[in-house]
Amino acid sequence: MILKIGLNASSRGLLLLGWLLTPLILFGQQTLQAKFEAIESNIKGNLGINALLIETGESISLNGDKQFPMQSVYKFPIAMVMLKQVDEGKFSLEDTIQIDKAEYIPKRGYSPIREKFPEGARLTLKEIIRYNIESDGTACDVLLKLLRGTAQVQRHIHNLGITNIAIATTEMVQVVNDSVQYQNWATPVAMSKLFQLFHEGTYLSKSSQALLAEYMSVAAPWFDRRIKGLLPPNTKVIHKTGTSRTVEGFTGATNDAGIITLPDGRHLALSVFISDSYDDQKKREETIAKVSKAAFDYWTSDK
* Rounded Cα gap, residues 256 and 272, in angstroms: 6
Residue 51 sits at φ, ψ, to 5 deg, of -115, 120
Active-site annotation holder among 40, 171, 285, 286: 171
Mapped onto helix, strand or coil, the DSSP state of residue 3 is: coil
Active-site annotation holder among 40, 61, 72, 285: 72
Q: Is 72 a catalytic residue?
A: yes
- Contact call for residues 281 and 254 (beta carbons, < 8 A): yes
* Rounded Cα gap, residues 115 and 200, in angstroms: 37
* Rounded Cα gap, residues 249 and 279, in angstroms: 7
N- to C-terminal Cα distance for the chain? 39
What single string gives the DSSP state of each residue in 64-90? Answer: TTS-EE-GGGGHHHHHHHHHHHHHTTS
Strand 237-243 to 246-247 pairing: unpaired
> Cα angle vertex 75, ends 74, 77, to 5°?
70
Give alpha helix (H) positions in the chain: 9-40, 75-87, 112-116, 125-133, 137-146, 150-158, 171-176, 188-200, 206-215, 281-300
Q: Within a 13 Å sphere around the CA of 160, how many CA atoms are in the beta-carbon half?
A: 24
Q: Is 275 a catalytic residue?
A: no
Q: Which positions are catalytic?
A: 72, 171
